[in-house]
Amino acid sequence: MGDSEVYLPSQDGALRQGEVISGLVQIRLGLENGFPGPDDEHAVIRIEHSLALVVSQDCDLDWDYKNRSGLELNPQKEMPNTLFCEVAAAAELRGLEGINASIWGKIKTNKDERYQFLQRIPRNRDAAGEGLPELALDFKRCFTIPTEEVYRQLRAQGRRRCRLASPYLEHLSDRLFNYHARVALPTEHMSEPEPSSR
pLDDT at residue 80 is higher than 90: yes
67 located within any domain: yes
| Confidence band of 42 (pLDDT split at 50, 70, 90) | low
172 located within any domain: yes
188 located within any domain: no
pLDDT at residue 34 is higher than 70: no
186 located within any domain: no
Domain count, the chain: 1
The H or E element spanning position 143 is strand 135-146
Mean pLDDT for 20-37 is 82
60 located within any domain: yes
From the CA atom positions of the chain, what is the Rg in Å? 20
pLDDT at residue 2 is higher than 60: no
Mean pLDDT for 53-74 is 91
8 located within any domain: no
Question: How far is residue 117's CA from residue 108's CA, in Å, rounded to a whole number?
Answer: 5
b vs e for 133-161, b when ≥16 Cβ sit within 10 Å of the residue's Cβ? Answer: eebbbbbeebbebebebbbebbeeebbbb
Q: Are 163 and 16 in contact (CB under 8 A)?
A: yes
102 located within any domain: yes
With the CA atoms of 96, 83, 14 and 69 taken in that order, what torsion angle do they form, in degrees rounded to the nearest 10? -150
pTM value is 0.88
Instruction: Give the structural domain span for 110.
Output: 17-179
